[in-house]
Structure 1
Amino acid sequence: MGSKVPAKESSVSDPDARAAQSGSEKAASNDASFGELVSTERSDKEGDARVRAKSDGSPLVSRAFPVARKAALTGLVLGTLVLIPYAHPSLLRFRVLSEGISFIPERGADEAVPGMAPPKDYVGEETLEGTTEDSQDRGAELDRPLTTPKGPIAQQQAPVPAAVLEDKPPISIDLPDGGLDKFFDKLIAVENKTPGAVARIVYYGDSIVASDFITGKLRRMLQDRFGDAGHGYAIAANAFKGWFHIDVSRKSSPQWKTSTCIGPYAEDSLYGLGCVSFTARTTGEWFMMGTSTADKWGKDVSRFEIEYLEQPDGGDLAIFVDGEQKGTLSTAGPAKKVKYHLVEVSDGPHKLEVKTTSDTPTRVFGARMERDVPGVTLSALGITGARARFLDKQDDAHWAEVLKAAKPDLVVLAFGTNEVGDGRMAFDEQGQLSKDPMGDYERNLKAVMKQIATALPDASFMLVGPPDMASKGDSGEGHSKPMVPVIIQHQKTCATELGWPYWNQYKAMGGSGSMYSWVQSGLGNPDMIHPTGQGGNVLGKWLYRALMEKYEAYKEKKR
């Protein structure tokens, strides 16, 4: 299939927000580690105040809005009565409009972490925000001590689940028959130390995955039990806000130009496994990837595999291992095609550096690190600001090819955080606001799921739902966003229809009200959306134990 340059989409999460986008973005904090699209609740209030201020005492609302005040007030009261039930799921039975219609932004959404620009809905490139610095030391955040909930409000909220201290998963994976059999069969081979057996996991998600806390803990625990077969795949540089991996050393120069599946888009829709294309047009641009020097995990590698684009008049790359040049790589070829360059090393600690040596366009995607021993790899591929449907912005044949090259035994999709911010809104195939938002949400998600399953007939798959998310009320307490359980229900419907396992992070955390308690305990960030390192430690441990619960049952069944 040819290029899939996406149709234009709304760049913010509701129609009113588009009108107020400029002012909202200027008010956004530049210090946030993550971000989601800002709402217009504050802008709406300011607009109402301006209308009142323009009134000159006439019976009309204003000269610009020539409607009788009494009629306007009556309409406002009636409209408010209709809309109140949409402010919280507990009022569901009082709703009179069909599902998918919602005119009220989620309360407090403007207080969710600002600072991330909306998806860039155009074809083009942008420069990295700066040098990619080594972030492997952030693994220490997983083991920081927890604090106890503070204050009477925290005590009134749902408590942090006892399983945090009991060291067990609070809920199991919803597992259809055969849903994880192929992955579990590979784990059995790995556990039996079958030569060449490697269980590979590709784990896509949004900003929750862009920070390698949950996935990093899961990777560590799987490798502790089954063996370390290498770190897996990582993108060449940090193209997304808040993106980092633990247990691997990564750096890059700052002048790479990027196109991503959330925009700005590549005209050819070729993004590699991690949904980012990196282009250099000058000599001396570089990226480095190597084994960890901070913790006991990720200490060894047997081979690096560079993922790049071969193209007409492509530039040249110099390949260095441990500071010594080991050869050159030309990216020139008769047509655009994803290619892989293997660099084999003796099993142990090593660093790979890739550097441009020409001024002609050179495109790379990332690199994979593996070992020649039985074990597990986990490639965490978070896309900050993404919805699951953005994965479909890749050229179909190209995405299928890079998925096959990754050889995963398990593919995980962990989206929903940004869909919650969208509210009851979705977009149709033309990128326009949908008349059937939640129906289109399901169709878009299932289309992505089907693409993955078609490309990987020998793999297992799983959906992981979003965590609880909250907004601050007027008194400062946290209120769970009412769209979280709505999105989860639609995700579960998709999982059931296509036979995918489903793990409910929201329910595991304690359900409605849990995120605020997690924040009070140090498990959640003050943005009340993202887990901290400690929270990622807990969620990663729970997911590991939930997987092992089903794995042990599967082994028992096979005996």
Structure 2
Amino acid sequence: MNKPYHTLVFLVLVAMLYIFLSTIVPSGNLKIGGILFRIPKPLELLAISKTRQVFNSTDSLQSTTHKQTKIFSNALPINADSIPMEVEPLQSERVELSKTTPKRNFEINTLPIEMPTGRNPLGSFASALRNLDDQNVIVRVLHYGDSQIEGDRITSQLRAALQEKFGGTGLGLIPIWNTEYLPGGLKVGFSDHIKVNSTVNGKPAQKANCILGAVAEVAPLDSYGEIISIRVNSKQLFNSLSIISGNSDSTYAIMIVVDGTDTLERQVMPYGKVNVLSVKLPSRFERISIFAKNPATVKLYGLLAESGRGVSVSNIGLRGTSGNFFTRFDSHIASDIYRMLNVRLVIMQFGINVVPSNLSSYAYYQKLMEQQIKAVRRFAPQADILVVGVTDMANRFDGELKSNPSVEKVLQAQRYAALSNGVLFWDGYSAMGGEGSIIEWVNASPPLATKDYTHFTSYGAKRFGQKLATALLIAVDNFGMANIDQQPTPNGSFLNE
């Protein structure tokens, strides 16, 4: 009969054997008869325990359907946006235009934007900015990206820097495709009369019209019915609201009610495929209600919240995409929207959903990005294009945590696609610090990246956004000068590999 102390002695002997084996096998791997045994160190077990504890904590950007996803796996899911993220609450990064606002030093530790040989592809954007003093217009920037920019991350810093220097207030586009990840200080609600389809997960018949991220269908209403409500805190300042709508089979009416009292009503005639209805707003308000009276179905493409002049920078963060949707847009609708909005710069920031496929060659992705660049050029010949290279990502390989080697392959595919097609390129990977930088960002205090070794925290997004803004402002300041650095157009192509 076993005594209680027998069990205790047995456990002590097992522990002693484990410590002995982990000491005499420093590599942690023991091969016996062709079978490889993995013997983790005691400290590794403690580290894994802590990692799991952090991973299991719920954060604002984590979908409940992905809570069981393992991190540090050698085989990441193809869609990196499905990886849970630890993200601090986002804060509004708006900068007031005043004499007391401290100016940033935009000359320190700046990775320059790369430009193709023989031309300067920043002419339209730079000239539009320099003419702002003579024209009462808004120069618009559309920042497209995956979940790395979701919730106005990175974009907010770019907006703050451009508006500080060139004027303007407001957020640009108010996202209607994803009300979970809105910029700080905004709450948007929809009635049952409206159905929203995004560029990424919308119905196939609607995707062609989603140039601004989504299209919302408003069901017929015989009398005025509220379709959208927007709540704004005091930190968000804008004095103009624009509603971008599509064609309809009949005339329809839009009514905007501010704080339940001020009412603005407009009739929209069904003349064009795209209509922009703009209204002035009071200097201070808390709630905007949008009502519609439409005998036939009406499409809404977006809402713009901004001021009457200056720079407007819109965040179009679309989770789960590799940036392959521009070629699906309706060319006439896309052209009309880009022209009416005076879009002068389109930023494409993708790649974290491409890296996990771990291919030997990403020639297909180079070709895919070239097609997207050419599509935007067709839609918006007046707009310059900036491709932001993929940021660093890490996985465990043979037990060692290090940068995924596919990151540099995807980065090079993006660089070739951009420079060989005459558009701007900024190396996000090198801006972070290159190989292994994501590990350093995770281990920083405070952390600049999350434990999925892919996404930035709010601190990291702020730092990366400031780096991008710095590089862009320097390029704008240097436009047209003889000493501007020209980067050589790459010889050859990944397509020939």
TM-score by length of 1: 0.63
The 8 Å contact of residues 234 and 381 in structure 1, kept in 2 or not, is answered as no
Instruction: Look up the match of 2:305.
Output: 369
Equivalent-residue separation in structure 2 for 1:422 and 1:405 (angstroms): 39
Within 5 Å, give how 1:385-404 maps onto structure 2. 385-404=320-339
Which shows bigger deviation, 510-519 or 248-257?
248-257
Instruction: Look up the match of 1:184.
Output: 126
- Deviations along 1:287-321, one digit per CA (max 9) or x if unpaired, are 24476523xxx4232x2210122323687643213
Equivalent-residue separation in structure 2 for 1:259 and 1:554 (angstroms): 39
Change (3 A) 1:310 1:442: same
The 8 Å contact of residues 138 and 342 in structure 2, kept in 1 or not, is answered as no
Matched, 1:526 2:446: no
The 8 Å contact of residues 413 and 462 in structure 1, kept in 2 or not, is answered as yes
Which shows bigger deviation, 395-404 or 534-543?
395-404
Instruction: Look up the match of 2:388.
Output: 464
The structure that is helix-richer by fraction is 1
Instruction: Look up the match of 1:482.
Output: 405
Instruction: Look up the match of 2:199.
Output: 261
- Deviations along 1:510-529, one digit per CA (max 9) or x if unpaired, are 11211111111110022211
The one of 163, 173, 178 aligned to 1:238 = 178
Equivalent-residue separation in structure 1 for 2:108 and 2:79 (angstroms): 30
Equivalent-residue separation in structure 2 for 1:187 and 1:345 (angstroms): 25
Within 5 Å, give how 1:98-497 maps onto structure 2. 107-110=74-77, 115=82, 138-139=90-91, 168-176=108-116, 177-190=119-132, 193-236=133-176, 238=178, 243-246=181-184, 249-253=186-190, 255=192, 256-281=194-219, 284=225, 286-289=227-230, 292-294=233-235, 298-301=236-239, 303-312=240-249, 317-324=254-261, 326-328=263-265, 333=270, 337-345=273-281, 351-356=287-292, 361-373=297-309, 375-424=310-359, 438-472=362-396, 478-497=401-420
The 8 Å contact of residues 212 and 244 in structure 1, kept in 2 or not, is answered as yes
Change (3 A) 1:113 1:423: closer
Counterpart secondary structure, 1:552: helix
- Deviations along 1:376-402, one digit per CA (max 9) or x if unpaired, are 110111111111112222222222222
Equivalent-residue separation in structure 2 for 1:304 and 1:114 (angstroms): 31
The 8 Å contact of residues 177 and 213 in structure 2, kept in 1 or not, is answered as no
Within 5 Å, give how 1:1-20 maps onto structure 2. none
Change (3 A) 1:350 1:370: farther
Instruction: Look up the match of 1:33.
Output: 61
- Gaps in structure 1 of 5+ consecutive residues: 1-27, 43-104, 118-135, 144-164, 426-436
The structure that is strand-richer by fraction is 2
The 8 Å contact of residues 166 and 311 in structure 2, kept in 1 or not, is answered as yes
How far apart are 1:405 and its partner, in Å?
A: 2.1
Change (3 A) 1:178 1:418: same
Equivalent-residue separation in structure 1 for 2:93 and 2:473 (angstroms): 24
The 8 Å contact of residues 251 and 294 in structure 2, kept in 1 or not, is answered as no
- Deviations along 1:96-116, one digit per CA (max 9) or x if unpaired, are xxxxxxxxx982515997758
Equivalent-residue separation in structure 2 for 1:258 and 1:300 (angstroms): 25
How far apart are 1:409 and its partner, in Å?
A: 1.6
The 8 Å contact of residues 275 and 391 in structure 1, kept in 2 or not, is answered as no
Counterpart secondary structure, 1:179: coil
The 8 Å contact of residues 515 and 528 in structure 1, kept in 2 or not, is answered as yes
TM-score by length of 2: 0.71
The 8 Å contact of residues 199 and 408 in structure 1, kept in 2 or not, is answered as yes
Change (3 A) 1:333 1:30: farther
RMSD: 4.0
Change (3 A) 1:266 1:315: farther
The 8 Å contact of residues 79 and 320 in structure 2, kept in 1 or not, is answered as no
Equivalent-residue separation in structure 1 for 2:480 and 2:83 (angstroms): 45
The 8 Å contact of residues 212 and 302 in structure 2, kept in 1 or not, is answered as yes
One-letter amino acid of the counterpart of residue 507, structure 1? S
The 8 Å contact of residues 469 and 484 in structure 1, kept in 2 or not, is answered as yes
Equivalent-residue separation in structure 1 for 2:139 and 2:299 (angstroms): 29
One-letter amino acid of the counterpart of residue 367, structure 1? L
- Deviations along 1:394-429, one digit per CA (max 9) or x if unpaired, are 22222222222221121111111112233339xxxx
Counterpart secondary structure, 1:389: coil
Equivalent-residue separation in structure 1 for 2:441 and 2:191 (angstroms): 36
Which shows bigger deviation, 266-275 or 447-456?
266-275
Equivalent-residue separation in structure 2 for 1:234 and 1:168 (angstroms): 33
Change (3 A) 1:442 1:535: same
User: In terms of Rg, which structure is larger?
Assistant: 2
One-letter amino acid of the counterpart of residue 443, structure 2? Q
Equivalent-residue separation in structure 2 for 1:504 and 1:478 (angstroms): 23
Equivalent-residue separation in structure 2 for 1:492 and 1:114 (angstroms): 22
The 8 Å contact of residues 196 and 372 in structure 1, kept in 2 or not, is answered as yes
Within 5 Å, give how 1:83-102 maps onto structure 2. none
Which shows bigger deviation, 204-213 or 107-116?
107-116
The 8 Å contact of residues 142 and 533 in structure 1, kept in 2 or not, is answered as no
Instruction: Look up the match of 2:50.
Output: none
Counterpart secondary structure, 1:109: coil
Equivalent-residue separation in structure 2 for 1:166 and 1:213 (angstroms): 20
One-letter amino acid of the counterpart of residue 109, structure 1? L
Equivalent-residue separation in structure 2 for 1:419 and 1:166 (angstroms): 32
How far apart are 1:180 and its partner, in Å?
A: 1.1
Which shows bigger deviation, 254-263 or 378-387?
254-263
